[in-house]
Structure 1
Amino acid sequence: RNRMYIVDRVNSRIDVFDLNGKFLDQWPNIVGPYGIRLTADGRYAWVNDGYTQKVMKYEALTGKLVPGSTWGTMGIALGAIWGFHFFTTDSEGSLYIGEDMAFRIQKLVPRKDGNPAQLIGPLM
């Protein structure tokens, strides 16, 4: 907490600053970051990549990618992503994905027996 995460899709990175604007960290080598959302507890940051059509989970303080947390498939079939522009969640844990190439918003509902560690929400 008390950090600002700036998505720089042109330079393929996320820059991290304190609330006074002091540079703290840089997460390089993210192909096309379009958005970032923190988990409600502030421990993790989910990043959507508009080029690879994937969502990735990072440790919010270190910027380290959480192993096994990246998912997403490019395409127009239901559940696939084409033009991953934004994402958010609701209070039930459903994930909403906005796609600017497929011209749609998809709602993905978590399975009742799903692993809570793999859910994106709730978000700040």
Structure 2
Amino acid sequence: DGLFRQPTDVTWDSEGNIYITDGYVNSRVAKYDKDGDWVKSWGEPGTGPGQFHLPHAIVADRSNNLYVGDRTNRRVQVFDTEGKFLRMFTIDVPPDPKSRAVNGPTPTGARLAAVIGQPNSICITPGPNQVLFVGESTFPGRIFKVALDGKVLGVIGRSGRNLGQFSGAHALACPSENEVYAAETSNWRVQKLILHPQTQTSSARR
């Protein structure tokens, strides 16, 4: 307890407690109190509820529900602050057939099915009506706007190197529902996205 092997993300609840996804090796979520003292951890390798295969992102909503991006299991799991499993959802949106991977061959068949909707990064908006933005893994490389119940509200971009395209959105910040920052590992950049929901389009600037 209190030791990590390649942690991936961190978030806080409304009382200042700290939650860390200890992802690549330990496959768990660790909890500390606001003073930095160890409280507990939960999770283990696996595919069942409350188990993880590379928990890579974590955020907390206004009600202190914790959303964990269980990347290789291709799902988001939701817990309370004591680690009780509440629900989970997947993002099952097929990519544009014209999309091509930035690095290496473009996945097809079972390899493609295994990466669609993989939650590489997650952010949550402030305010009373919160939504999630979920960054997909390197390919298909999109960003999804998602309701807290898991309903997909919108899809942004696709794999590529142009503005408004993505490869490895490894971290997201969303200070409002219409403003998103995406840090990409494969494209070595941060993009600022200004969203225009009324026209279902977006513009991007570096």
Q: Is the TM-score greater than 0.5?
A: yes
In 1, the alpha carbon distance for the partners of 2:131 and 2:160 equals 27
In 1, the alpha carbon distance for the partners of 2:194 and 2:146 equals 22
How far 1:98 sits from its partner (Å)? Answer: 0.9
Contact 2:124 2:174 in 1 (8 A): no
Q: Residue 4 of structure 1 corresponds to which residue in structure 2? A: 66
Larger RCO: 1 or 2 (CA < 8 Å, sep 6+): 1
* Gaps in structure 1 of 5+ consecutive residues: 120-124
How far 1:105 sits from its partner (Å)? Answer: 1.3
Q: Letter of the 2:78 partner, please give it.
A: V
Q: Residue 48 of structure 1 corresponds to which residue in structure 2? A: 135
TM-score, scaled to structure 2: 0.47
Q: Are the structure 2 counterparts of residues 95 and 64 from structure 1 closer, same or farther at C-alpha, using a change threshold of 3 Å?
A: closer
Structure 2 residue corresponding to 1:31, chosen from 117, 122, 129 = 117
RMSD (Å), alpha carbons = 2.5
Q: Are the structure 2 counterparts of residues 3 and 23 from structure 1 closer, same or farther at C-alpha, using a change threshold of 3 Å?
A: same
2:145 maps to 1:57: yes
2:155 maps to 1:70: yes
Q: Letter of the 1:18 partner, please give it.
A: D
Report the structure number with the largest CA radius of gyration.
2
Q: Letter of the 1:52 partner, please give it.
A: P
* Gaps in structure 2 of 5+ consecutive residues: 1-62, 92-115, 202-206
Q: Letter of the 1:76 partner, please give it.
A: R
SS of equivalent to 1:70: strand
How far 1:14 sits from its partner (Å)? Answer: 0.7
In 2, the alpha carbon distance for the partners of 1:78 and 1:65 equals 22
In 1, the alpha carbon distance for the partners of 2:152 and 2:72 equals 20
Report the number of matched residues: 112
Q: Are the structure 2 counterparts of residues 57 and 95 from structure 1 closer, same or farther at C-alpha, using a change threshold of 3 Å?
A: closer
| Partner deviation per Cα, 1:8-40 (whole Å, 9 max, x = no partner) | 101111110011211000113563111222221
Aligned structure 1 segments of 4 or more residues deviating by more than 4 angstroms: none
Contact 2:134 2:143 in 1 (8 A): yes
Identity of aligned residues (%): 32
Contact 1:32 1:52 in 2 (8 A): no
Contact 1:33 1:47 in 2 (8 A): yes
How far 1:89 sits from its partner (Å)? Answer: 3.6
Q: Letter of the 1:53 partner, please give it.
A: G
Q: Are the structure 2 counterparts of residues 18 and 90 from structure 1 closer, same or farther at C-alpha, using a change threshold of 3 Å?
A: closer
SS of equivalent to 2:158: coil
Q: Residue 81 of structure 1 corresponds to which residue in structure 2? A: 166
